[in-house]
Amino acid sequence: MFELLLCSLLTIFPDYLYRRYGQGKRIGREITLYSVWYELRWGISACLLLTISLITMIFYFHPSTSNVTAIFRTVTILPETGGRVEEVYVGINQRVQAGDPLFRLNSDTQQAALDASRRKIAEVDAAMKVAQSELASADGEIKQAQGDYQTAVDEYEMKAQLLKNDAVARREVERLETNIESRKGALDSDIAKKQTLQTQIEELLPAQKASAEAAEKQAQVDLDKTVVRAGVTGTVQQFALRRGDVVNPLLRPAGILVPESAGKNVLIAGFGQIEAQVLKTGMIAEATCIGRPFTIIPMVVTEVQDVIAAGQYRPTDQLLDVRQVSQPGTLTVFMEPLFTGGLNGVPPGSSCIANAYTNNHDALADKNIGTLRSIFLHVVDTVGLVHAMILRLQALLLPVQTLVLQGH
């Protein structure tokens, strides 16, 4: 309507002035309801062409969309393992801080595994003390074996000297020689036993203790998993757990956690594909939301998604028929408030209307720009005012349209 009124002032109105004052024709006489088209045909035709051109220029260089939403991400409340709820710490719509406990699962199995691992550590510590005692005993046995061995050697040497003088029987000397070998074997056995104990104390038992401590840590981790905590600060929604309920990480989530800043920092808009060459990062935009009526929120385009979601496909066992993609997708654009707190008061998930405005300031500042191009760019920047006026009119009529015309 604004475009039609503006174009009529430049076409139909001058045509009427010429007919009225240039040709002397008057409304009700020569210009009647039936002769309007014939008398003002040039102005009406020019008005229609100019209106269509103006609307096309406005909507192309200053795109608008009603597919705008303050999309927010939710965090599903899920345990890492399934189980039966033993205790619930929070309620519905309760605000929680990151790390706060939400609920606890039955932990009898995990607690038993933790106790068993701790008893295993105690057993290894006891075995360490026993091995150290045995090591001290082995030192005494080695000293005793060394004494017996030395005694056998001394007796053998003495009897060997006597054998030279035929003062002792040769069989006696041979017996002593065998006794030396026996004592030497006993000494070697005691030394080997000590080395075995040292290996147990220095390597085997520490390894067993490290394994038991690792098992204890694993059991403690499993026990900690039975207490489900909030990963982020936010509000708990759709959380109706009660003692005795069974939750499963694959089939039965416990609820939803809405992060504190969710949907309050960005608006996601879907513009038409034809505007893909116009929408650029850094463009100034404006938005008005149902959740915050009568308000124009200055925005800036921070990201333009370089793909259109409607064209995606997943590998399956069937070939994709392009006709199945009958609904054209939109160009996803991310917009953030131009000023801090711009989206305050806009509930996450609100539906909005947004305009993006083309800015040719840098192109107009070029000294080598041509006259016709300069005029065209000035016109492009100027007609953005029409779209800004339309957005403000929509902001005024949005409550009426929602509450009265739509009956919401």
* Strand blocks (E) in 2-94: 64-69, 75-77, 83-88
Q: Which CATH architecture has domain 75-101+228-259?
A: Beta Barrel (2.40)
Domains 62-72+263-311+326-407 and 75-101+228-259 share a fold: no
Quickly count: other Cβ atoms within 10 Å of residue 97's Cβ. Answer: 11
Q: Measure CA of the first residue to CA of the last residue in the chain; give whole Å.
A: 26
Report pLDDT for 300: 93
Do 187 and 149 touch, CB atoms closer than 8 A? yes
> Residue 171: what pLDDT?
67
Q: What does the pLDDT read at residue 299? A: 92
Q: Which two tokens stand for residue 397?
A: 């009529």
CB 110 within 8 A of CB 219: yes
The pLDDT value given to residue 155 = 66
**Residue 150: enclosing H or E segment and its boundaries?**
helix 108-164
SS3 state at 293: strand
Residue-range domain boundaries for the chain: 1-47, 62-72+263-311+326-407, 75-101+228-259, 107-219
Q: Residue 148: what pLDDT? A: 67
Longest dimension (CA), the chain: 173
Main-chain dihedrals φ then ψ at residue 250, nearest 5 degrees: -105, -30
pLDDT at position 408 = 53
| 62-72+263-311+326-407 CATH, one of 3.40.50.2300, 2.40.30.170, 3.40.1260.10, 1.20.120.640 | 2.40.30.170
**Identity of residue 235:** T
pLDDT at residue 132, rounded to an integer? 78
On the CB side of 156, how many CA atoms lie within 13 Å of its CA? 16
- The answer to whether 84 and 106 are in contact (CB under 8 A) is yes
Judging by beta carbons within 10 Å of its beta carbon (0-12, 13-18, 19+), is residue 344 exposed, middle or buried? exposed
Is 0.75 topped by the overall pTM? no
3-class state of residue 149 by DSSP: helix
Per-residue pLDDT tens digits of the chain, which is 408 residues long: 666 776 776 777 777 676 777 777 777 777 777 777 767 778 778 878 888 888 888 888 889 888 898 888 888 888 888 888 888 888 888 888 888 898 888 888 888 888 888 898 888 888 888 777 777 777 777 677 677 666 766 666 666 665 556 655 666 656 666 766 776 777 677 677 777 777 777 787 788 888 888 888 988 888 888 888 888 888 888 888 888 888 887 777 888 888 887 777 889 999 888 888 888 898 999 999 888 888 899 999 999 988 888 777 777 777 777 777 767 788 899 999 988 888 888 888 888 899 999 888 888 888 888 888 888 888 888 888 888 888 888 888 888 777 777 755
Q: Please give the DSSP secondary-structure letter assigned to residue 321.
A: P
Q: Are 43 and 16 within 8 A, CB to CB? A: yes
